[in-house]
Amino acid sequence: MKKFTLLSFALVLATGVAFAAEPFAFQVKVTGHGQPMILIPGLASPGAVWDSTVAHFSDHYECHVLSLAGFAGTPPREDSGPVLESVRQELVAYIRQHNLAHPIIVGHSLGGFLALDLAAKNPELPGQLVIVDSLPFLVGIMKPGATADDAKQFATGASASFSQMNPEAYAQMIRGGPNGSIMASGSADLDRIIAWGLASDPATVSRAMRELYSADLRPSLSIIKCPALVLAAWIGYAPYSSHQFVEKTYGGQYAGLKGVRLAITDTARHFIMLDDPRWMFAQIEKFLATPNNNPVSSGQ
């Protein structure tokens, strides 16, 4: 897969009550009732990316939708510290403060990486994980044999490339790609994704990209105790990818996560919740309805 496509992948990477404002790492809106479900957007995306998901699940789940500081118009933090670690630490505090028992954590792209990181560092907290088109080692999708040094080098380059990109170049990159666009099929959805990116704080996005690409969660996946569903997309990367390639890559990277379930869409692009929400909802409902995926019945 070309560097262009992976950089593009990274850049992707309801009423309620606001929980946090500056200087917190995110804001939260809560909708619905039932078992808590935390939804984390991807890079440069707002909590609004989950609107249709919340509308579908809020009758049976209490949806806690995060909007990360510096993304898509949410005010950035004033400090220049780590982005991902701050979100993880504050999300752990949020779960404990609000007594959220075994929440379902749903994360897209960067949000999926955060969900994995939280579950590995705090395995007692989540009840189930739903990872939407994300990997524990992003550079590995381009270079399966990549090392930690390779990852750091690419992270530095990708971050620098983004920081030098003007709005026109950013929009062109999002709309480009090997097969129309890797992000979403609909023109209106692409317009929204571009607007979210342009409304994001470049410094925050650049730091988050560098942290995301430098990290490798594969060694810590075995620590995760809760059931996990991974949803993957590939058609946006054709002709550089295929169903078989994605199945092999995701299967290899998630090999350390015991009992993980992998489902691959042949219709949706990276923003699966925008391109084919019905498929995504069906996969999540089937996963959550499986008896041994219940945190109570599994003894967690």
Write out pLDDT tens, residues 242-277. 999 999 999 999 999 999 999 999 999 999 999 999
Quote the pTM value: 0.88
**Of 158-167, 217-226, 231-240, which range is least confident?**
158-167
Alpha-carbon distances, residue 208 vs 20, 120, 166, 188, 221 (angstroms):
20, 19, 18, 26, 21
Three-state SS for 62?
A: strand
Give residue 179's pLDDT.
55
Alpha helices in 98-133 (DSSP H): 110-121
The whole-angstrom separation of Cα 201 and Cα 283 is 33
Domains of the chain listed by start with CATH number: 3-287 (3.40.50.1820)
240-276 core/surface letters (b: 16 or more CB in 10 A; e: else): bbeeebbeebbeebbebbeebbbbbbeebbbbbbbbb
Three-state SS for 191?
A: helix
Give residue 256's pLDDT.
97
* Residue pair 285/57 in contact by the 8 Å Cβ criterion: no
Higher pLDDT, 214 or 80: 214
Q: Retrieve residue 15's tokens.
A: 């009423």
Is the model's pLDDT at 61 over the cut of 50? yes
Which strand (E) or helix (H) includes residue 208? helix 202-214
Q: In what order do the strands lie in the sheet with 128-132?
A: 26-32, 61-68, 35-40, 104-108, 128-132, 228-233, 261-265
Alpha helices in 40-83 (DSSP H): 51-57
Sign of CA dihedral 207, 95, 54, 32: negative
220-239 core/surface letters (b: 16 or more CB in 10 A; e: else): bbeebbbbbbbbbbbbbbee
Give residue 178's pLDDT.
57
